[in-house]
Amino acid sequence: MQLYNTLSAKERAELIEKAGKDRLTLSFYQYAKITNPQEFRDQLFIVWNQLDVLGRIYVATEGINAQLSLPADRFNEFKTHLDNIDFLKDIRLNIAIEQDNLSFLKLKVKVRHKIVADGLNDDTFDVTNKGIHVGADTFNELIEDDNTVLVDMRNHYESEIGHFKNAITPDVDTFRESLDIIEDDLKEHKEDKNLVMYCTGGIRCEKASAYFKHKGFKNVYQLEGGIIEYTRQVNDKGLENKFIGKNFVFDERRAEKISDDIIACCHQCGEPADVHTNCANDACHLLFIQCDKCKEEMNNCCSNNCKDIHALPYEEQKALRKGQGNSNDIFKKGRADHLPYKKDLRNIFETLKVDKK
């Protein structure tokens, strides 16, 4: 019985192209008590592999976090399967704004300690005492209120290419880092301000809102379904779009365009750009923003050194990598020292003051 992916990304891409079928990219999450996550994981893999589902799915005792794609003509089968699982019945599915048949090329279902790496001890607070969920229309009203502080719960490389107008964007590498920073900088406003949060699909705000309520914040709100659902509602209801730029996503697409604004710059030349790429040097794979001109000049690489290595025959590259492991740059996500126009570190309240008049 197959319980793990056996095809390479290249082989899968060829099969997808040959099939000639449109695929749907979507995501969902649910906090729920899963007694045996390994058994649940195996059951999901068996069914989803048969449905030609591809994606990245995390299962833990606290629930499931799924980002995936599947053939559009098998969506109803997939939805029926979810509805037959008690805690996933009628779950909201965040359908991607921009579709790409190659958004995922492998099915990876992994058992993790948590479905989001938040670094929190859930036994120390009530994780079910969450903030008030609001839709796009109420969210738009709230963020225009002078009594509101709007906070982006994503990491710096996500908000760099797109965020809501007037949002505070913590300059952090991980979700866990932002929690203490936000609490400390807003400690004087726990009772007199509306704390409104958002993230990509809503999952980070689920835990963050409960954490901030535990820390004494009285008026906590979160955007239902995150940026993905917000965009769908804006389009469906004809609402004003208050998001500028692109929404970073964790698949091969890397981003969805929400507005035509380009708010970031190429990390190599400084010209307006908002397309993330991974350095083509297999020993690097740094994630950074690169414009078309630099992409051509640098052969998809982040530095001249990587460009030189990438130009070598494959076997020579492989020999150079032997025993070296991945470069630490892979974890820097646009902050490597050799990128001249990387995003500057700054205090999250340097450009936006909380005390609005």
Question: Mind telling me the catalytic residues?
Answer: 199
Judged by DSSP in three states, 315 sits in: helix
Q: How far is CA 236 from CA 62, 91, 172, 232, in A?
A: 33, 20, 33, 6
The residue assigned the tokens 């279902």 is 109
**Type of residue numbered 105:** L
What is the three-class DSSP state of 235?
Answer: helix
Q: Which of 55, 44, 141 is nearest to 96 (CA)?
A: 55
Closest CA to 117 of 196, 55, 199, 203: 203
Please state, in angstroms and rounded to a whole number, the distance separating the CA atoms of residues 349 and 346. Answer: 8
Reduced to 3 states (helix: H, G, I; strand: E, B; else coil), residue 204 is helix
Question: Whole-angstrom Cα distance, residue 303 to residue 254?
Answer: 21
In whole angstroms, give the CA distance from residue 97 to residue 252: 14
| Cα gap 135→193, rounded to integer Å | 19
Task: Provide the greatest CA pair distance for the chain.
Answer: 64
